[in-house]
Amino acid sequence: MPEQVYLDWNATAPLRPEARAAMAAALDVTGNPSSVHGAGRTARRLVEDARGQVAALAGVLAGDVVFLSGGTEGNMLALSPALGDSLLVSAIEHPSVRCGGRFASVDEVPVTAAGTVDIEALQGRLAGRSRPLVSVMLASNETGAIQPVARVADIVHAAGGLLHVDAVQGPGRIACDFGALGADLMTLSAHKLGGPQGVGALIKRADISFEPLIRGGGQERGMRAGTENVAGIAGFGAAAKAAHENLATEAERMTGLRNRLETGLRVVATETVIFSEAVSRLPNTTLFAIPGMKAETAVIAFDLEGVAVSSGSACSSGKVTPSHVLAAMGVAPDLARGAIRVSLGRTTSEADIEAFLKAWAKLAENLYKAKKQQDIAA
């Protein structure tokens, strides 16, 4: 059986060889990074080297990086009532942000039909608030729409607030410079950029402090207790370094492949809708639909043809549910129910795109046949 064509990189990216090598080497290190003997210092060195690599990716100092278990924990840690009297989030945020972290209530800010945060609405929601905390993602995990984060930061800071950015989809695809974005806190996740699952980081300004979620031995400068996952962190650092160094070439290559894919979609079905097409998007992401298509049926059909795609976010325990992102954009429910996300990565090839388009042509043909039979029956 031929190897499956993997086009679900926004869900998780295959492990980079640099990360695999770093993890294998770290697994041979026995010491606890909090121990003061030689073995412990060796483990500590691996953690701190990785911290420097992640810091370089984000354009910050190593001391601004807090290692934790992933993007969800990073978001939960950042969304602390100690940082604001109220929480505002965009309507297209990841569920771990929309649930409000440690806030009792959340105020959602609408987005435009193109899938970017509505700046005027944000300004209106901020009026009269003394110390707001705002969370806006760097780029949508579903549509790929890049958010106007720097503009949002200016507005939030002018209102006396702080800005948290969920940037897990950015590294290896677009620049994630903490200072240029104007963020006060930023979440990263290793497995989205070719590191291991179960590792992430919260980037924070040095002058920001709040209560940790996990108390104990005081690791991570008191922000996250528990013995560090040395091998996972080493893999994260190596992946961050590779993603940072190869950003330009990988992004250019993915853009070309995405354009080829989207052209092919419309050659097969001229009525194809590509969501957030009118705004800047991640170079690897396409969310599309055609009228009459059901996402759950399409995902299975692609899988049977050896192509892995998704119906949007992969964070709903494998369930195919209506997209809150498309609902927030005002997409008609019938069209939204058929949305399929294709996300590419550093090893995606032209042959992979051709395999996808071949499967798409077969699926579209079957849809047209079914619709014709329904019309005849009617």
pLDDT at 1 over 50: no
pLDDT average, residue stretch 116-131? 96
Q: What is the mean pLDDT of the chain?
A: 94
Domain with CATH 3.40.640.10 in the chain: 17-245
The whole-angstrom separation of Cα 275 and Cα 264 is 16
Residue 377's pLDDT band (cuts 50, 70, 90)? low
Q: Which residue from 214, 213, 242 is spatially nearest to 226, judged by alpha carbons?
A: 214
Which residue intervals of the chain are DSSP H helices?
17-27, 38-58, 71-78, 95-98, 119-126, 149-158, 178-181, 230-245, 247-268, 295-304, 324-328, 333-336, 350-377
Domain with CATH 3.90.1150.10 in the chain: 5-13+247-377
pLDDT average, residue stretch 103-118? 97
pLDDT in tens, 47-82: 999 999 999 999 999 999 999 999 999 999 999 999
* Beta-sheet strand order (sheet of 285-289): 273-274, 285-289, 340-343
Contacts of 242 (CB under 8 A, 6+ apart): 16, 18, 19, 194
pLDDT of 369? 75
pLDDT of 3? 79
**Residue of 315, 320, 327, 361 marked active site:** 315
Residue 374's pLDDT band (cuts 50, 70, 90)? low
265 and 290 Cβ atoms separated by less than 8 Å: no
Q: Is 315 a catalytic residue?
A: yes
Structure tokens at 110: 């609408």
The whole-angstrom separation of Cα 227 and Cα 355 is 44
Neighbours of 43 (CB within 10 A): 24
pLDDT in tens, 232-277: 999 999 999 999 999 999 999 999 999 999 999 999 999 999 999 9
The CATH architecture to which 5-13+247-377 belongs is Alpha-Beta Complex (3.90)
State pTM to two decimals: 0.95
pLDDT at 11 over 60: yes
Q: Give how far Cα 249 sits from Cα of 7, 17, 171, 208, 275, Å.
A: 19, 17, 13, 35, 25
pLDDT of 297? 93
DSSP state of 161: -
Q: Give how far Cα 226 sits from Cα of 46, 218, 220, 258, 272, Å.
A: 16, 8, 9, 41, 49
b vs e for 324-346, b when ≥16 Cβ sit within 10 Å of the residue's Cβ?
bbbebbebeeebbbbbbbbbbbb
Structure tokens at 19: 């990360």
310 and 8 Cβ atoms separated by less than 8 Å: yes
pLDDT of 367? 85
Residue type, 333: P
pLDDT of 317? 40
Q: Which CATH number fits domain 17-245: 3.40.630.10, 2.60.40.1120, 3.40.640.10, 1.20.950.20?
A: 3.40.640.10
Coil, strand or helix at 285:
strand
